[in-house]
Amino acid sequence: MKIKDIISKNLSVLKEVTDIPQKEIYIFLGFILEKDFIWLTLNQDYELSFSQLQKINDCIKKRATHYPVEYITNRVSFYGEEFNIYDGVLIPRPETELLVDKAYDILKEITSPNIVEIGTGSGIISTMLAKKIENINITAVDINPKALELAKLNASKHNVSHKIDFVLSDLFTNVKDAQYHMIVSNPPYIANDFELPKNVLYEPKEALFGGNKGDELIVDIVNICINKNIKYFCCEMGYDQKEPLSKIFDQNGWVYEFYSDYSGFDRGFILRLKE
Ligand SMILES: C[S@@+](CC[C@H](N)C(=O)[O-])C[C@H]1O[C@@H](n2cnc3c(N)ncnc32)[C@H](O)[C@@H]1O
């Protein structure tokens, strides 16, 4: 079967699960044939071998169950860079690039920043900060051993392993005592009773649900900052968490700033706890 026939045959199948069926078929073709989009569009009459065809059919079959594209190709793009991803670890979202930028804006002014990332997942935040900041030292923690394994792989792929200590830890439990300048985190922040869209159902629950209200882990991390005397907390949050969190921040007289994501939803904050 030719490339153009594969596209026309599978468009209607993928229309059921995605708004961009053609793009996704091209992604699978590129993944199987190891060719880029331009090659694929210029070689529409290329005839796939039997095994290539089988592989494409497997991709389409999996995707038709709402299984995420990134878990099929084991690749994800974040901050213009390619990272590895696999089942069992949260797929990075584009809005988390904003959190990297917010943390970077503060850290670039500190000579040798020493920070902790809570809930590193695939390691994208720590890896990007380590790529952008020369003298940074990061402790990146997660409760999911599979995530830490992947985060190590991604740090190594981007040559920043020497700047990041990966630690299996529930919040700060196994983090060694030191003076840290910042905690950065994209913690689980969805309320436990929220009904997830079908594609998100394949992602690990411990990466998504933050408690009955959703912001419980965020509040736990604020308390860690207080107890450990950490000046900055940069955090992603749910679109409906600005009000309850700002109440806590105001009660304590802290300086803070919320930021919105690319769709205009409240998505995170930078909190400065002490002078
Ligand atoms: C929303 S994901 C973020 C992953 C990654 N940082 C990103 O932005 O794509 C949250 C991560 O926090 C981890 N996590 C959940 N509870 C935790 C806890 N109590 N202590 C440490 N990590 C935790 C999850 O395993 C998951 O990898």
In the block, tokens 């073709």 appear at 29
Would the CB of 147 count as within 6 Å of ligand 1? Answer: yes
Residue 42 placed within a domain:
yes
Indicate the residue type of 251. Q
Structural domain contains residue 71: no
Residue nearest ligand 1's atom 24 by CA = 207
Q: Are 91 and 112 in contact (CB under 8 A)?
A: no
Please tell me the residue having the least CA distance from ligand 1 atom 26: 207
In the chain, how many domains are there? 2
How far, in Å, is the centroid of ligand 1 from the Cα of 121? 5
Residues 139 and 53 in one domain: no
Atom of ligand 1 nearest to the CA of 189: 1
**Is the domain of 57 the same as that of 165?**
no
Count of CA atoms in the C-beta half-sphere (13 A) of 205: 6
Same domain, 55 and 110: no
Statement to judge: residues 61 and 160 lie in one domain:
no
Domain shared by 144 and 187, yes or no: yes
Residue where a domain terminates, one of 32, 65, 98 = 65
CATH number for position 116: 3.40.50.150
The closest-lying atom of ligand 1 relative to the alpha carbon of residue 96 is: 8
In a domain, 125, yes or no: yes
Residue nearest to atom 7 of ligand 1 (CA): 92
Distance CA 21, CA 77 (A): 18
Question: Which residue, among 26, 48, 47, 45, has the nearest Cα to 37 in the 3D structure?
Answer: 26
Q: Domain check: are 201 and 96 in the same one?
A: yes
Nearest CA to ligand 1 atom 4: 121
Classify residue 72: in a domain, yes or no.
no
> Do 122 and 236 fall within a single domain?
yes
Residue 80 lies in a domain: no
The dihedrals phi and psi of 233, each to the nearest 5 degrees, come to -130, 115
Q: Report if residue 251 sits inside a domain.
A: yes
Q: What is the pLDDT along the chain (275 residues), one digit of tens a residue?
A: 999 999 999 999 999 999 999 999 999 999 999 999 999 999 999 999 999 999 999 999 999 999 999 999 999 999 999 999 999 999 999 999 999 999 999 999 999 999 999 999 999 999 999 999 999 999 999 999 999 999 999 999 999 999 999 999 999 999 999 999 999 999 999 999 999 988 899 999 999 999 999 999 999 999 999 999 999 999 999 999 999 999 999 988 899 999 999 999 999 999 998 66
Residue of the CA atom closest to atom 21 of ligand 1:
142
Same domain as 104, residue 218: yes
Q: 72 Cβ partners below 8 Å, 6+ apart?
A: 28, 31, 59, 62, 63
Judgement on whether residues 36 and 162 belong to the same structural domain of the protein: no
Which ligand 1 atom lies nearest to the CA of residue 99?
Answer: 8
Tell me, using a 6 A CB cutoff, whether residue 17 lines ligand 1: no
Please tell me the distance from the alpha carbon of residue 150 to that of residue 230, in angstroms, as a whole number. 28
Residue 107: which domain range?
90-272
Pocket flag, ligand 1, residue 171 (CB < 6 Å): yes
Residue 198's pLDDT is 87
State the distance from the centre of ligand 1 to the C-alpha of 3, rounded, in angstroms. 39
Do 136 and 9 lie in one domain? The reply is: no
d(CA 183, ligand 1 centre) in Å: 13
Tell me, yes or no, whether 222 and 262 share the same domain: yes
- Ligand 1 centroid distance, CA of 217 (Å): 10
**Co-location of 109 and 61 in the same domain:** no
Is residue 77 in a domain? no
